[in-house]
Structure 1
Amino acid sequence: MIEILNPTQLSRAKGSGALVAHILHTLKGRSTIGTNLLDIDRWAKEMIVEAGAESCYVDYAPSFGRGPFGHYICTAVNDAVLHGRPRDYALADGDLLTLDLAVSKDGVAADAAISFTVGETVSPEDARMIDTTERALAAGIAAAVPGARVGDISHAIGTVLDEAGYPVNTQFGGHGIGSTMHQDPHVANTGRPGRGYKLRPGLLLALEPWIMADTATLVTDADGWTLRSATGCRTAHSEHTIAITDDGAEILTLPQQTGR
């Protein structure tokens, strides 16, 4: 299913996106050395409930998972990259943490992810991976204009990842979003320009470049959800929800800047 949102729904989508951004960046500030992943999940639940919103994850049970996800946020550490199920683990200095959050408010969902290093020890390679996913995301957003094709977005993302020397997995990628979290079209993180669905104003997309340092192969944890690099290498993941408008793409999940 591909949804085209009307102006009222787009206004609601902006509210959902702002909430996702606020929660993610609040949790980033709280994620310090010694923070337990289960505490991050609890804080996410508290903020979602307080905002009168609903988690897109807690009852999520797709064919590739093992039963309902059962948590409110994805917490992927180091070699984990996608669907990281919160567990009893205290963050250590130098851990590479990805927080991935999808929330529905007033009937419209938004989805975003951020990767960052915990503590003071920052590996140059970790920093390079995070920067690469952020640049790939920016390139994909720049390509998301009315009349363009999904393949144009995939090509823009994949060009950045390929030029940086990272293998690209196409099993999981970006997706349409709207009244539900995962919709068509699928937006692979590499592809051929000029192919695929033609972008129209009112379309919402969640774009999410993610990489693993030296492999494109994933393995699944015993929890049935957490996806890790097959070689144990580090990973990074960046994601925004965007709305296609008459003038291009509007990012809905940017944190609000407050001045004095």
Structure 2
Amino acid sequence: MGVESRNMSEQGVQAISTRLAQDEQLRMPGNLTRAGAAPDKAKREEYLCNLLRRDPGVFLERYAEQLTVDERAYFEPLREDYEVNFYLKQAEQQASAAKPTSAQVKNRRLAQMNRLDAAGEYFSDEAMRKRGPLLHHQYIGQYQAPAIRAARTNKLSDSILQQHDELQTQLRMAQQREAEDMVEEESDSDESEPEAAPRASGAGQPQSNQEEFLEIMRAKFLAGQDGEFVDYATVDRDSTLDDDWLAQQRQDAEDAYFETV
């Protein structure tokens, strides 16, 4: 039997139990999985909480594979218990073995980017402005007519939610500008460091600036820099994205073949 979970925080007990109770495929005792009956999530959560408090070793034996990295961290104070340590190590080894290769990660992110591109929202001008307001200003916003810029904050018809979104965008731009200023100050003292961000070529090439901005935002997505908006852990492990990539590879091969015929 494992050590008592009085050393595990109650926050951990509740967080783990609440999430796992939502999984209708989770293996549970027969009295909680009667055929034809809708799962009673409150009872499932109560069962998981009690098991965690009573015997975390047995809990891990049954459910360690279902835990996230953050959830496994709640068990760290119990590592001295043999069962807890054994099942944690086992889960960690399995998670490491399932970790995608760098090539898979690259291809899956590219496939996900193409899906988002096709959907139209994520890489729309307004959505990109919300994620990268300073870059948007440098490449596009500063060259727009003042009336267009003012309209974003002065429209009385905007909903409260839209006004809140605009304020958040302005706050994010201020934070990004402050971060860039700090990088530039450090760069002044070390000339070998590159500039914090590329600058737009000028007002005379609006289409070119738009394309450059889009390419930068795509590159940021692929590099994993959109973590505030994208669950990269899920994307990187999504094997269904491989089908998209393989289909694209086949299409590219066919196109290359017909170009040489």
Higher relative contact order, structure no. (Cα contacts within 8 Å, ≥ 6 residues apart): 1
Fold agreement, TM-score > 0.5: no
- TM bucket, shorter chain: under 0.3
- With normalisation by structure 1, the TM-score equals 0.22
- With normalisation by structure 2, the TM-score equals 0.22
Q: Greater strand percent: which structure? A: 1
